[in-house]
Amino acid sequence: MSQGASTWSRQKASWAALHALHPTPIDLQRTALIQQADTDALSNPQWLESLLLRLGLNDEALNELPSQLHAHCGHGLRIWQYPTQFSKYLTQLSRLKIRSYLEIGIRHGGSFVTTTEYLDRFHSLDFAVGVDIIPCPSMAAYQRQNVRAQFWCVNTGGLDFLARLAELDSLDLVFIDSHHEEHQCRREFELLHDRANLIAFHDIANVGCPGVSQVWQEVKCLPAYDCFEYVDQYRDLGPFMGIGLAVRKDRLRRVR
């Protein structure tokens, strides 16, 4: 089998596995915890880390989470992030005057909703778009709750995604958290880097996602960006997860 045919076979198998997944509805009432919080508190990474626990974490891959966090898993917004990483990432975003957001790969929707609600507390968002190839049952309810939120159930490798992107006037922040294979991660970056001021990647430090780490290392070498990493780990685990944020240097100068 040729390398191209082998890659295509793996891709089809991956898509089949993805379609077998069924996202779980999330508790959107928890967003009130963000909406009612003081912005000074939201700007504090330690306080925000504790808030993320109250918002609720995902209970998939519990082996990647320390036992002391398990009581916070499986309910609420089902955020699939390490709170110790996500809190530092979000607080840095709060200082960057972000007005539009796109997240690729939203699973249950918890990280997307959390990021959208959090950013909106600091600078009112013009729009936020969640993208996933799998239908996400909570997104219809969230769109009713937040009219500036959109959900695109599309394949980022298809023409529909390109057409929708072309309709967006601007794009500040993109978060890539989709299939975690090197070729797809690189393709999504190449598709979006000219359109976005900031691009973030999830799982840059994950032992199980070497392809994402490889793409992130390449991005860090590009002269157009200042890059930041949020890779704090819990003892005796991983390394897992990890967030990388690439900010265009000209954009960073404008907000300082």
With respect to residue 9, please indicate whether it lies within any of the assigned structural domains. Answer: no
**246 in a structural domain:** yes
Segment 6-23, tens digit of pLDDT: 443 544 444 454 445 678
**3 is a domain residue:** no
- What's the structural domain count of the chain? 1
Tell me what the pLDDT averaged over the chain comes to: 91
Residue at 6 is within a domain: no
Give domain status of residue 33, yes or no.
yes
* CATH number of the domain that residue 243 is part of: 3.40.50.150
Give the integer Cα–Cα distance in Å for 183 and 59. Answer: 28
In a domain, 7, yes or no: no
In one-letter notation, the amino acid at residue 229 is E
Q: Are 113 and 77 spatial neighbours (Cβ–Cβ below 8 Å)? A: yes
Q: How does residue 169 score in pLDDT terms, banded at 50, 70 and 90? A: confident
65 within 8 A of 44, measured Cβ to Cβ = no
Residue 251 lies in a domain: yes
254 pLDDT tier (thresholds 50, 70, 90): low
* pLDDT at residue 55 tops 50: yes
pLDDT tens digits for range 119-163: 999 999 999 999 999 999 999 999 999 999 999 999 999 999 999
Residue 3 has pLDDT above 50, yes or no: no
Structural domain for 222, as ranges: 22-255
Residue 206 above 60 pLDDT?
A: yes
- Structural domain contains residue 51: yes
Alpha-carbon distance 154 to 132, whole Å? 6
Quick check: 44 pLDDT over 60? yes
CB 34 within 8 A of CB 118: yes
256 pLDDT band, cuts 50/70/90, is: low
